[in-house]
């Protein structure tokens, strides 16, 4: 089991008092499988993704990633987990603006100590980024930036890929192409994929799907 959540709850403090974002979430994801996470805006999708990545702590419940109980880990151990096990694809790409495309692609893999130049070259070609290695993020289109963000995550061969609306900024055709690529690469690398999406159409293409409503699995 790459990802397992049991009874996970999370609330945020707001000016109007505590806001319950997630309540009693149970979820399991195996290697080589993909799962879509859908729901209305404000239903807690992104929060669930962030908890799954060990980016934030839970109020209650337990999260296991690759057999490690994330809720019991210290800050540094969680950072190591993100470095070595998890790969994140953000909706806003979040590339490192000071590094060129090639360095961005290699960055996570090098941090994790798993940089494989041959694999990176293959990824670059399959993502259509071969000619863009020396460009900087600000010189790329939205679609190109998203492909770099996906490439950066997959180059590190993470066991768990967490993607937050990876095709949200792309047109339908480009979105489909990017998703095809992600799914095939996830299968090839034996990773598990948890993907937040608003699109029913895209969600149907994944192995499974859970729907969130007001912080609960519907």
Partner 1 sequence: MLTVALSALLSHWRRRPMQLAMLLLGLSLATALWSGVQAINAEARASYDRAAAMLGQDRLRQIVSDDGELIPQADFVALRRAGWLVSPVLEGQLRLGSVRLHVIGLDPVSLPAEAQQVNVSAGDDLLGFITPPGRMYVASATARQLAGQPTPPLEIGQGLPPGTGLVDIGIAQSLLDKKGLISRLIVDAHQPAGLAPIETIVPGLSVRAPDPQGDLVRLTDSFHLNLTAFGFLAFAVGLFIVYSAIGLAFEQRRATFRTLRSLGLSARALIGLLLAELLLLALIAGLCGVVLGYFVASFLLPDVAATLQGLYGATVPGALTLRPQWWATGLAIAVLGTLVSAAQSLWQVWTLPLLAPAQPRAWARASEAARRVQAVFALCLFAMALALAIWGNGLIAGFAVLAGLLLGAALLLPVIMTALLAFMQQLARGPLTQWFWADTRQQLPGLSLALMALLLALSANVGVGTMVASFRLTFTGWLDQRLAAELYVTARNEGEATALRTWLAPRVDATLPIWSVEGTVAGGPAQVFGVADDRTYRDNWPLLQSVPGVWDKVAGGDAVLVNEQMARREKLQLGEPLILPGGWKTTIVGVYSDYGNPIGQVIVGIDALTSHYPDVSRLRYGLRLDPARTTALIDALQAQFHLPSQNVVDQASIKAKSLEIFEKTFAVTGALNVLTLGVAAVAMFASLMTLSGMRLSQIAPVWAMGLTRRHLVVLEVARTMVLATVTLLAAIPVGIGLAWVLLAIVNVEAFGWRLPMHLFPSDWLRLAVFALAAALLSALIPLRRLASLSPSDLLSVFANER
Q: For binding to partner 1 (CB under 8 A), which residues are involved?
A: 12, 21, 41-42, 44-47, 50, 53, 55-57, 75-76, 79-84, 88, 90-92, 94-99, 103, 106-108, 110-112, 164
CA distance 28 to 66: 11
CA angle 34, 112, 72 (to 5 degrees): 70
8 within 8 A of 24, measured Cβ to Cβ: yes
CB of 111 to partner 1, least distance (A): 5
Distances (CA, A) of 137 to 21, 64, 125: 33, 34, 18
Residue 195 φ/ψ, nearest 5 degrees:
-125, 125
CB of 14 to partner 1, least distance (A): 10
Q: Which is nearer to partner 1, 71 or 177 (CB)?
A: 71
Q: Which is nearer to partner 1, 96 or 130 (CB)?
A: 96
CB of 18 to partner 1, least distance (A): 13
Q: Which is nearer to partner 1, 98 or 204 (CB)?
A: 98
CB of 99 to partner 1, least distance (A): 5
Q: Which is nearer to partner 1, 62 or 198 (CB)?
A: 198
Distances (CA, A) of 57 to 71, 72, 74, 154, 165: 7, 10, 10, 25, 22
């Amino acid at each position: 089991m790459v990802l397992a959540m049991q009874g996970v709850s999370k609330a945020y403090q707001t000016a109007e008092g505590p806001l319950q974002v997630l309540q009693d979430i149970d979820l399991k994801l195996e290697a080589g499988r993909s799962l879509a996470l859908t729901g209305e805006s404000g239903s807690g999708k992104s929060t669930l993704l962030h908890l799954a990545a060990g980016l934030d702590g839970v109020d209650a419940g337990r999260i296991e990633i690759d057999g490690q109980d994330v809720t019991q880990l210290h800050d540094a151990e969680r950072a190591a987990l993100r470095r070595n096990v998890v790969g994140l694809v953000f909706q806003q790409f979040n590339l490192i603006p000071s590094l060129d495309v090639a360095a961005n692609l290699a960055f996570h893999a090098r941090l994790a100590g798993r940089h494989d130049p041959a694999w990176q070259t293959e990824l670059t070609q399959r993502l259509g980024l071969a000619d863009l290695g020396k460009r900087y993020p600000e010189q790329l289109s939205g679609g190109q930036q998203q492909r770099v963000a996906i490439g950066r995550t997959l180059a590190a061969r993470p066991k768990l890929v967490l993607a937050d609306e990876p095709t949200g900024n792309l047109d339908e055709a480009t979105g489909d192409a990017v998703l095809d690529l992600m799914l095939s690469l996830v299968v090839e690398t034996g990773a598990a994929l948890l993907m937040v999406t608003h699109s029913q159409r895209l969600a149907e293409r994944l192995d499974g799907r859970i729907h969130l409503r007001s912080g609960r699995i519907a």
